[in-house]
Each structure stands twice: as C-alpha cells, then as structure tokens.
With several copies, the nearest count.
Chain A
C-alpha cells in the first residue's frame, strides 16, 4: 500500500476547497471519481442540490453497503439515495437542464486542461482504447461554470495543465477554474492565473510542474 505524498493538498482537502467556492442553493453536477468527494464537504449553513445526469435532482449520499436500490443510481452507476425535494426525470429533461444552462456548476476530472480552457477528459486517443464519452461533452458545453479537480501532474510526472491538449477534446474553452493538489488556478483570457497555492508551496514549485505560464496576479499587483 502506497502512502500519499505529504506535498500539497489531499484529495479530501481539494474537495473541501472546491466546496468553499460553491454558493448556497447551487445546483451542482459532480463528475464520476474524485469530484464525488465534494459532496462530503458541504460548508456549514449551505445546501447544494446535486444533479445526476441519469435522471435525478436531489441526489443524496451513498446508502450503507449492501443497502440501496439497484435502480436508484448515479452517473457512475453506483447506488445513491435521494433527499427531500428530489425529482426523477428522463434523459431528455436531464440534458435540457445541462444544455439549457440551468445547472450552476459542473465539477469534472481531467486528463489535460489547456491554457485557453480546452478540456480533455474522456479519451487518451490510444489505438486500443474503447471510446466512451457519456455526458461529459454535454456538461462542458451547457454548464456555465466548469470546475476541474485533478492531480497537478500525471502518475508519470507529466503536467496536466498544458499549452494545448494533445488528447481528444471534451470541449473548447470550457474550464473556469482548476483545483489541483498543488494550487487553485483560474483560466483567464490571458491563460492560467494563480488563485491560491497549497500550504508550503512556492509559486516557482507549481510553475515548474505546469506546462504553460501561470500569471501570478499577486506578484503583478505588487510590481
């Protein structure tokens, strides 16, 4: 069993940081995987309503192991529960919510994010890969604010924040903000811009692990 490195934020700390940026009463779609952790860290006094694109608004936490209903599931096909005020609907209605701009926020994982906000998160384009996209392209095209939660670099140490994506795109210019284990970074008209560093990390440390320049607004302001 590997031990997590002590550098930067843990997954749960990233999730907590994301949750801090979500206003009370928001309608939120959490992507499969790491983004699901956000639901565990709702700040005191706030209520978020979770949408799962397979047809439920008002999704609640997972049921106890070996409990739950195999036909009450989330987009990751895992059993979930429902909250008071929940509603079930069909796929056309669910994606009308997404495509029509009714969701406040989508939190997604990433393979690569480009400095212009392009996102690649569904395929590495490998020859033997089975192509599968699900609702990712609809989410990034329809939801106004798209947050990405990701490790800052790949397991091989390659930057995931890049000048331009080499993997097939999920959407063009769609990412609003990136929450990694090392930093919170906005996508701006001028490219990546630092919002916050993880505790103990320097700007240079993060820049070295990023494939494109990061604007340091604090530094610029002090000049």
Chain B
C-alpha cells in the first residue's frame, strides 16, 4: 500500500534546511504553488537558492519569500514581470544574486538534471552576454555552448490532481516547468486540488509518473497571485 499524502503544506516542507536549493514551479502565476511557498515562509529556512522562471508579483507567493529575505540567489529567465517590485528592489540593493538563463536552456538544464544528463550543447545564447564564461564548441560548423544540468534538494509544484502514488495531471498552461522540476530534486512536493485513489487516473494520460513525486499535499482551493494582489494581500 503506497500513499504519498502528507497532512499539510507545513508538514510537507518541514525538513527544508537553510542553504537548500529549491525549485519552484510556475510561469507567472500559472502553476505557482502559493500554499507551499507560504508554508516555506512560515517554516523559516533561509539562505535558499531558488530556481524559478519568474520572481513573483505583489507581496504574496514567491515575491513574499524573496521579501522575507530568505533567498540569497535566484536562477531565473525573466525576473521582471509586470507587478514585480520585490525582486528589482532587492537586486538593485545588492541583496540577491541572479543567475539569468534563457528560458529554454533553463527548462533543458532542469530536465537534464533529472534525467542524469550532466551537460549538453545548445546553440542558444551563443554570441550573447549569457554565453560569457561558458565553454563553447563548434559542431557541424555552428558554435554551441556547454550547459550543465541543474538539480535541487526540493521541488515545490502545483498540480490539478494526483493519485495516492503521486501520478500527477496539471491544468492547462500551469503545467510549464513542473514536470521537469519534479524529476530534478531529491524531494519533490506537489500540491494538488484533488487527490484520488491509485487506479482512478488513465495510465495513458499521466503527465508526471509517481516515481518522480515524494509528497502529495491536498490544497482543495489554491489561491491565485492575481486574486490575492487584487485585494492587496501580503504574506505573512
């Protein structure tokens, strides 16, 4: 009998330690696991390295984690979404380190980390500042950059539904980085709006197989960044 459910977001993130690398799903608010992030803020771990495509908006979710100064470094492709003020302020004040990575390279580096591919060559970013300091090499007459896989201690993602084995389905464009982040961490934690018994999901349609998932947290009505920001919410 396998059952990966844990009782609460608080319990799920309890063992994230200071200095950990944490991948956080989402493209903007789509797929952002707000309840898990808020639990991490409550938990208090600091000096984190966060891997996430954006930097959050308003004063909730990822932006709130940054605002609480728990994150010393962020690996990111686009940290200045409309409505994002926390990151720019911290960055200009020299209080956070940024590793800027092209979005597709970020996705592929995370996939590589999860797939046991230590490094790969891509034409993306050749000749740009983001290739500076990176090894490059010509294949078939074209220059490529060596990019390395990324792994993390924890991954926090949001799904639509999971079974008790951790097989996860997502909602539309909230899928984005979650499937590859699920593969690339020592401990993968997913919050889902619905949990079903093993056998209730179609085996042909599973997006993230349960082998990649360690903990499932049932969050029946997850908040959305835009809805929280509309009412001027801030966390904590």
**Which A residues contact B (CB, under 8 angstroms)?**
25, 27, 47, 49, 51-58, 69-73, 77, 82-103, 118, 128, 130-138, 141-142, 168-172
Can you pick out 21 interface pairs between chain A and chain B where the beta carbons lie within 8 Å of each other? Answer: A52-B173, A54-B30, A54-B176, A57-B209, A58-B165, A73-B27, A84-B197, A84-B199, A89-B206, A91-B27, A91-B176, A97-B211, A99-B104, A99-B122, A100-B116, A101-B116, A102-B183, A132-B79, A135-B77, A135-B103, A135-B104
The 8 A-B pairs with the shortest beta carbon distances in the complex, nearest first, are: A84-B199, A95-B104, A85-B198, A99-B116, A138-B104, A96-B115, A172-B127, A91-B107
Within 8 Å of chain A (Cβ to Cβ): is B45?
no
Bound Cα distance A80, B122 (Å): 30
Point out the residue from B77, B104, B125, B198 that lies within 8 Å of A132, measured CB to CB: B77
Point out the residue from B127, B177, B206, B210 that lies within 8 Å of A91, measured CB to CB: B177
B77 and A87 contact, CB distance less than 8 A: no
Bound Cα distance A86, B183 (Å): 17
In angstroms, how far is the closest chain B Cβ from the Cβ of A149? 20
**Which B residues contact A (CB, under 8 angstroms)?**
1-2, 27-31, 53, 77-82, 87-88, 91-92, 98, 100-108, 110-111, 113-117, 122-130, 163-165, 167, 170-180, 183-184, 197-199, 203-204, 206-207, 209-212, 224, 226-227
A96 and B114 contact, CB distance less than 8 A: yes
Point out the residue from A49, A77, A90, A95 that lies within 8 Å of B28, measured CB to CB: A77
B122 and A85 contact, CB distance less than 8 A: no
Max chain A C-beta neighbours (<10 A), residue from B87, B98, B107:
B107
Contacts of A169 in B (CB 8 A): 127-129
Bound Cα distance A80, B103 (Å): 20
Among residues of B, the one whose C-beta sits closest to the C-beta of A80 is: B173
In angstroms, how far is the closest chain B Cβ from the Cβ of A71? 4
Contacts of B199 in A (CB 8 A): 83-85
Contacts of A168 in B (CB 8 A): 128-129
B209 and A71 contact, CB distance less than 8 A: no
In angstroms, how far is the closest chain A Cβ from the Cβ of B58? 13
Among residues of B, the one whose C-beta sits closest to the C-beta of A127 is: B92
In angstroms, how far is the closest chain B Cβ from the Cβ of A83? 8
A130 touching B87 in the complex, CB below 8 Å, given contacts A27-B211, A95-B108 = yes
A90 and B179 contact, CB distance less than 8 A: yes
Contacts of B100 in A (CB 8 A): 131-133
Contacts of B207 in A (CB 8 A): 90
In angstroms, how far is the closest chain A Cβ from the Cβ of B97? 12
